A and B are shown apart, each in its own frame.
Chain A
Amino acid sequence: MAEFLRVDNLVKSFGTTTVVKGVNFTFNKGEFVSLLGPSGCGKTTILRMIAGFENPTSGSITVDGQDITHLKPNQRQLGMVFQAYALFPNLNVGDNIAFGLKIAGMPAEQRRARVEEMLKLIGLPGFEKRYPYEMSGGQQQRVALARAIAPRPRMLLLDEPLSALDAKIRVSLREEIRAIQLDLGITTIFVTHDQEEALSISDRVVVMNAGNIDQLGAPHEIYNKPATRFVATFVGHLNTIEATVASAANHQVNIDGQTVTLPSLPSGAKDNAPISLTLRPEVLSVGERAGSDIALTGTVSDVTFLGSVIRVRVALGKNIISLDTFNDQRTAPPARGDAITVSLASKDLLIL
């Protein structure tokens, strides 16, 4: 795929605080990429620099071969959807969607046709005469999306567009956004702090931490092979087991008095040294299971019934780990205080 957006050594400082610390990435044409990270990690600042609302302290931004670093926002031909919808209260839906087209000087007849096309695309045909205050948050955000893509921008920027919506609407709207993006093939950057949102609709995810990119990759890579401890803990639930190296030569560790053999250990591992092992809740199974080469016994410390899934917390000495198991209507879930055996494949243990 062709490189479409290129960000080189992007730095942004506010006074003495540097919020974006020399970030580099390239996105391909038609890609849907999420910038994921906690509050204050710099993801929104990067998006705002791409939009032109913030001037980079240093570095450059290139879109489709054109250096846009110092262009004004209205010269960049980008579309943007904001968290707070930002529909113009004085304009009805039709005029909101047509705003960019009117500014660009499109004739009225063509504008009307484009507005109709956009309303069909977002599933709100016949809404052109309504005012923003007459619509729900979900509908307003759909209109904001239509307004952003109506002038056929080079790239679509989404700044936490689902954060102000309730949970159910959030899920349905994110699927709609993805469907529309795939339909139009528009390169899209989606800023979110919600890892589920980022993983579910993105081609690639950029995980940011304190102004740096910790990892850039496909959602399954981010989840299954986190590059840093931060990525592993921020994306999905992660169990941490504090163990000691029993035999560095034989790749053996001791967990709560139980010796486990791992495929490998870090090169500097020494006998009796502490070591942190991490694993996802879903790689653990209750009881012995084929394909699992590690079995550990512990005590059930808590059981949370989540409907289709039951989350069991197991105490392995001082370590408390969580595992997810599907609800089976024929068998009762484990009870608190029960002795329990959990099994896993040693290859699923991560040493970060």
Chain B
Amino acid sequence: MKQSRFWAWLVFGIGAAYFLIPLIATFEFSLRMRRGYYSFDSYASVFSDPKFQQTFTYSAVIGLLSIIVGILVVVPAVYFVRLRMAWLRPYVEFLTLLPLIIPAIILVYGYIRLYNSSSIIPFTGSAVGTDILLTFAYVTLALPYMYRAVDTGMRTIDVQTLTEAAQIAGASTPQIIGRIILPNILVAVLSGAFLTFAIVIGEFTIASLLNRPAFGPYLQNIGANRAYEPAALAIISFIITWGAMSMINLLSRFAPRTSARTD
């Protein structure tokens, strides 16, 4: 018993060291901006840079828009597939996995070819159009995560019976999705939303090739030209991502509970 616990701790220790040592080293390096002693100067430098605020705000806004569009596309799609077209499920699952298989660089070149300023839908012809295109690209990138989160959420409720109960009470399909289905899978949707946000905040390829002032290209630019700030930015990015993941955990406690009692 004791021996098995020792090996378990050893494996855990190696795993933790694998993840934590680079993080600690990066954090330690980010504090060395001033010679001779540790300081948070690199963080002060990052936060005082107006470009940091601009790019972060831009990515946060695009992230929120991507979440909204993602929810509007994915929730009804999963709902109808589960309710009326169960046979379509394997195909939809395959389709949602494609963004994991197709590299972002290919996706963005495809977009540029299809939606350039001389095409029928010239998204890249204006800044707003490019922002819309970027949002759609991020919805696609986050699709595997959003789809799985929503699908898992719907698996925990009896979609068909709840739909029928609401229908017979007079509700229309939008009312059923808005008032019954969505609130009951809200935690799952939010976990998909946080994953989307985490992806959008750090994404470089698409934002860079569409030439948008996003946080990812800013990170890359700082990394190429400064010494200590990139380390500080890496830690900040990690905290943002970690915070988003923690929110998923926290929110799962507020999921509506179902009962199987028969007494």
Contact = CB atoms under 8 A, between A and B. Distances in A.
B180 interface: yes
A331 interface: no
A164 B157 contact: no
A103 B173 CA distance: 12
B263 A140 contact: no
Interface in A75-101: 76-80, 82, 84, 86-90, 99-100
A164 B162 CA distance: 17
Interface in B169-197: 169-172, 175, 179-180, 183-184, 186
A99 B169 contact: yes
A136 B263 CA distance: 6
Contacts of B179: 99
A133 B258 contact: yes
A22 interface: no
A158 to B, nearest CB: 12
A309 interface: no
B161 A86 contact: yes
Interface string B246-263: 000000000011110111
A134 B258 CA distance: 9
A90 B180 contact: yes
Interface residues of B, number: 26
A73 B259 contact: no
Contacts of A77: 170
Contacts of A265: none
B258 A132 contact: yes
B164 interface: yes
B158 interface: yes
A82 B183 contact: no
A100 B184 contact: no
A135 interface: yes
Nearest to A153: B168
B165 A82 contact: yes
Contact of A89 (B164, B169, B257): B257
A84 B259 CA distance: 10
A51 B167 CA distance: 10
Contact of A80 (B164, B257, B262): B164
A4 interface: no
Contact of A84 (B158, B175, B263): B158
B166 interface: yes
B170 A86 contact: no
B231 to A, nearest CB: 44
Interface in A92-144: 99-100, 103-104, 131-138, 140, 144
A152 B186 CA distance: 31
A80 B169 CA distance: 8
B169 to A, nearest CB: 4
Interface residues of A, number: 40
Nearest to A87: B165
A87 B261 CA distance: 13
B257 A131 contact: yes
B166 A99 contact: yes
A73 B168 CA distance: 5
B261 A103 contact: no
A133 B259 contact: yes
Contacts of A166: 262-263
Given A90-B183, A133-B258, A51 B168 contact: yes
B168 A74 contact: yes
B171 A74 contact: yes
Contacts of A151: 169-170
Contacts of B258: 89, 132-133
A134 B162 CA distance: 18
B164 A135 contact: no
Contacts of A79: 168-169
Given A51-B164, A88-B166, A99-B169, A165 B262 contact: yes
Contacts of B256: 89-90, 131, 133
Interface string B80-104: 0000000000000000000000000
A147 interface: yes
Contacts of A90: 180, 183-184, 186, 256
A103 B169 contact: yes
Contacts of A140: 259, 261
B69 to A, nearest CB: 24
B184 to A, nearest CB: 5
B166 A53 contact: no
Nearest to A81: B165
A202 B164 CA distance: 25
Contacts of B164: 51, 53, 73, 80, 82, 86
Nearest to A84: B161
A169 interface: yes
B170 to A, nearest CB: 4
B256 to A, nearest CB: 4
B175 to A, nearest CB: 6
A159 to B, nearest CB: 9
Contact of B263 (A100, A104, A131, A137): A137
Nearest to A150: B169
Nearest to A48: B164
A-B residue pairs, 6 tightest by C-beta: A100-B169, A86-B165, A133-B257, A89-B256, A90-B183, A73-B167
7 contacts: A74-B168, A74-B172, A80-B168, A84-B161, A89-B258, A99-B166, A137-B263
Given A89-B157, A99-B169, 19 more contacts: A51-B164, A78-B168, A79-B169, A80-B165, A82-B161, A82-B165, A84-B161, A86-B158, A86-B164, A88-B184, A90-B180, A132-B258, A133-B256, A136-B261, A137-B263, A140-B259, A140-B261, A147-B165, A148-B168
